[in-house]
Structure 1
Amino acid sequence: MPTHGHNVFELSEQQVQDSFHAYLQSSLAQVKAEKLIDAEMLGSAEGDLMITGPALCLYFAALRSVTYPPSVPLPRTSKSLPPIDLSPTNCPPAFIPFLRVWSNNVPAIQSLSPEHQHDLARIICGLESLSFPIPDNITRIAAELRAVSIEISQRRTFQERFGQDLQAAIDHDTTDGESASPGIGRRITASFVPPPSYETATTPSPSPQPSPRVSSYAFPEPEIPNLSGPSLTVPQSSSSSHSPSRTPSPSPPSPTVLPPDAPAIQIIRETLYACMAEVLSPTPSLQSLISSNPPRGYFATVSLAILCASTSSISPDGAVIGVTGQTLKLSECPREVRPLMSEFVGIGALAREIEEEDNEAAMELAQRDREIPEPRLQQVRRILENGLGAELESVRGGERSPSPEGRAVVFANRINALAMKMMSLPAFKERQRDIFKVLKGILGH
């Protein structure tokens, strides 16, 4: 197949970032036009838009790719400049893991029928497929694109510009008045605010970092299949929290002592914070990650703490056992906290289910003198810490076997999505900088 704008030089990270955000704005605007999201949702950045948006951008890029190996034509800042592709030969080292996972999925995406490409896009958006059955690899592809999106969303440069991307999509083609609230005429403004800058967590009064200016590009509008369809409803969160739990293990002392009447979200928050120290202290690689890449390291620690707490701090009847002994039942949670609580308990139930399945399979293999594969939860922990790119490299290197249909990736994404939702809550944001100081203190930095 032809190469589009062959390049032998390495692109800068800034060039790739600018191009990605230009395409992200286009993708969000297109999805808004297809009625999968509306201006109000873009303005509030509700749900898991930080995951869905970049994942759709990667999906659209896969449909556009016409080279082998797959590459992405970058937006042209001037018609007089030659076309440039982002390819394995010129990709900055920081983005090679992302590009590798994406390029490995491009042939599979392009080989899908239009109907199944439609289903893939819906699954990326958290919607159910319209056709049945679907190919087994669609779930895995969607999970891997969302996993790359999660890693991209933890980059500080992305966080600082995401609000501008949302606003550009809100303002795109507003002649139909969709960017204004019905009956009010109010212009919708993107309310997304980046999380605290952990690099400055140890300074007394950190100064806010200015967001980079988003350049205007004359980029082509991608050809995107119609994603809209009948009964386009977002599935509601559900909990399968009836599985028995192991006896909770002791946790390190929490940075604060909660009063008996502490709000539900504080009990969940402090339980997670205690588990953060528990997962951090025996993991040198995680300690190094926090030192070298604070935002990514902090996020990985929160996600690993969710997995730890959901399996060790849940009672048999599905209540959270707080760090000071309080128990919190779902029925005691305020309505706005219940979805998080249900997902937290549900993650623990699924972790135990996966562990039981692996134990049963290991016993059967041992009886037949067959090699016992690595437990899937161990793979999940590595994905949470290192990202999908590093994990797939070890799989391709023959060190491990991938889980069927990408189940480990799907589960890791579920944990990461909950971490992102929790970290965006005011009750978590107000304590994140203090907790990061505590973690840095534990590491002796």
Structure 2
Amino acid sequence: MVSSSPQHGHFNGQLSEQYIQDAFHSYLKSSLTQAKAERLIDVDVLASAEGDLMITGPALCLYFAALRCTTNPPSVPLPRTTKTAQPMELSFENCPPAFVPFLRVWANTVPSIQNLAPEHQHDLARVICGLEPLHRDVVPIVNGISADLRAVAIEISQRRSFQDRYASDLQAALDAGGAPGSASPRKASFVPPPNYDASPSTSSHSSPRQSLESLPPRLPPRINSNLPQQSPGLLSPQWPSAQSSASGSVSSFASSTSSSPSILTQDSPAIEFIRETLYASLADALERQPSLRRMLKTDPPRAYFGSVAFAILDVASNAITPDGSVIGVLGKPLTLAECPRELRPFMTELANIGRLAKEMEEEDTMDAIKLAERGKSIPLSRLDRVKMMLEGGVGYERGLQEADEGRRSVEGRAVAFANKINALSLGMTRLKAFRERQGDVFKVLAGIGS
């Protein structure tokens, strides 16, 4: 047990969250710098923070920490605050409660990472960075480890304390390697999303139902003859107070304090169309997942990202046509050809998620049939595991694995699929059109949770 020390913010033997955050960002800067030196991450990507760098950076940090680990059970060696300071390690005994799920998942990856040959460890770093491994024989193993590390990284990246400091981490990596005392001519362009605090006007004057009514109407009950009919949700058009119908113009997401909401029309830009289609599913996500509503009070950023992730899964599963078009809030299809070039990767990924969800559901059904035929109990399906991870984090999945290790594939497919949804959620909500509306969205969601 660690003795109390104001220097490290110990309390009852636990390190403070602030101390762990400072240590993590110190390592994150060096990890990004090393990845830049090894050309795993391009300088342009560092400056623009494009793609899923917000996930890649923390995952690399966890990877390098695993390589440095020398203890059993695994613990994280922490940087010294001064030259004379005693070496410190983050362990289960001194870890702040909020970080224990992260530490547990990371610790389970350490033996697998350290048992890899050096060239395969490098392949793991490449996979984390979205590059192809150089050795094909270890693809399933490195994919599974990468999925776990990226899952923890996703949860870290959803924390406001991380978002507020991420731009300075990127800038430190850009500045590294230049002349002493000089700064890089490239500037990190990462901008954190809006603050997620409830507005007094929303929580004081709007009921949850009134707040929900300011959201766009839900997708039409039957959007395509080839797609499954959706059950009516909180925002279904039959509400008497709904301001529009599927066939008319749709009242878009309005600020709780604004009397002039923007209007989504048939001629609105594709990004607004996609945005409002996803936001129309947010309230249904909150209806189906009561814990998300509770989380709005305790951890608004994570509740928001979780809601968006469920909305993505819902739209991908129910609003994508066989040719990859999206049927949105106006009941009108948006085709890939009509989508601006810069948005096509998001459209394509949305369709991929829908396809993978259908495949996973079919495999779950076949597995259940086979188990039932043999008289065996049917465990939680992969798709249900994915939904639980979207809601409860990867630590939930680790708990399931410990109780039922046989359900986990080497590749960690359920974790990887949850990561895929979360990565698209993070990527889309960083687009300018989403950032412009997130403030309004949070005012409504905060009112629901208050």
Per the normalisation by structure 1, the TM-score is 0.83
Distance 1:394-1:368 versus aligned 2 partners, 3 A rule: closer
Q: What root-mean-square deviation, in Å, do the aligned CA atoms of Structure 1 and Structure 2 show?
A: 2.3
* Deviation of 1:255 (Å): 5.6
**Contiguous gaps of at least 5 residues in structure 2:** 1-9, 203-224, 237-249, 253-262
Correspondence 1:278 to 2:284:
yes
CA distance in 2, matches of 1:422, 1:150: 14
The letter of the residue matching 1:33 is A
2:338 corresponds to which of 318, 332, 346: 332
Correspondence 1:157 to 2:138:
no
Say if 1:274 and 1:323, in contact at 8 Å, map to a contact too: yes
Give the SS at the match of 1:85.
Answer: strand
CA deviations over 1:38-81 (Å, ceiling 9, x no partner):
33221111111110011001000000011111112211121111
* Deviation of 1:382 (Å): 0.7
Say if 2:104 and 2:395, in contact at 8 Å, map to a contact too: yes
Correspondence 1:104 to 2:108:
yes
CA distance in 1, matches of 2:353, 2:66: 31
CA deviations over 1:314-359 (Å, ceiling 9, x no partner):
1233211111211101011011111111111111011011111111
- Counterpart residue number, 2:80: 76
- Counterpart residue number, 1:196: 194
2:121 corresponds to which of 117, 131, 155: 117
**Contiguous gaps of at least 5 residues in structure 1:** 1-6, 181-186, 205-243
1:24 corresponds to which of 10, 13, 28: 28
* Deviation of 1:363 (Å): 2.2
1:207-226 equivalent positions in 2, closer than 5 A:
none
CA distance in 1, matches of 2:348, 2:311: 16
1:43 corresponds to which of 30, 42, 47: 47
Correspondence 1:346 to 2:349:
no
- Counterpart residue number, 1:247: 228
- Counterpart residue number, 1:312: 318
Distance 1:135-1:126 versus aligned 2 partners, 3 A rule: closer
Distance 1:426-1:84 versus aligned 2 partners, 3 A rule: same
Correspondence 1:54 to 2:58:
yes
CA deviations over 1:376-435 (Å, ceiling 9, x no partner):
111101111110012212332449933552100000000011001100001111111112
Say if 1:154 and 1:296, in contact at 8 Å, map to a contact too: yes
1:381-400 equivalent positions in 2, closer than 5 A:
381-398=387-404
- Counterpart residue number, 1:408: 414
Say if 2:385 and 2:414, in contact at 8 Å, map to a contact too: yes
Aligned residues: 393
- Counterpart residue number, 1:85: 89
CA distance in 2, matches of 1:119, 1:398: 29
* Deviation of 1:9 (Å): 2.3
Distance 1:416-1:202 versus aligned 2 partners, 3 A rule: farther
Give the SS at the match of 1:130.
Answer: coil
The letter of the residue matching 1:246 is L
CA distance in 1, matches of 2:191, 2:199: 17
Say if 1:101 and 1:389, in contact at 8 Å, map to a contact too: yes
Distance 1:66-1:255 versus aligned 2 partners, 3 A rule: farther
Distance 1:39-1:405 versus aligned 2 partners, 3 A rule: closer
CA distance in 2, matches of 1:86, 1:297: 27
- Counterpart residue number, 1:355: 361
Say if 1:63 and 1:109, in contact at 8 Å, map to a contact too: yes
Distance 1:255-1:100 versus aligned 2 partners, 3 A rule: farther
Per the normalisation by structure 2, the TM-score is 0.83
Give the SS at the match of 2:288.
Answer: coil
* Deviation of 1:283 (Å): 1.9
**Percent of pairs with identical residues:** 55
Say if 1:374 and 1:400, in contact at 8 Å, map to a contact too: no
CA deviations over 1:239-285 (Å, ceiling 9, x no partner):
xxxxx963352562576152111111111111111111111113211
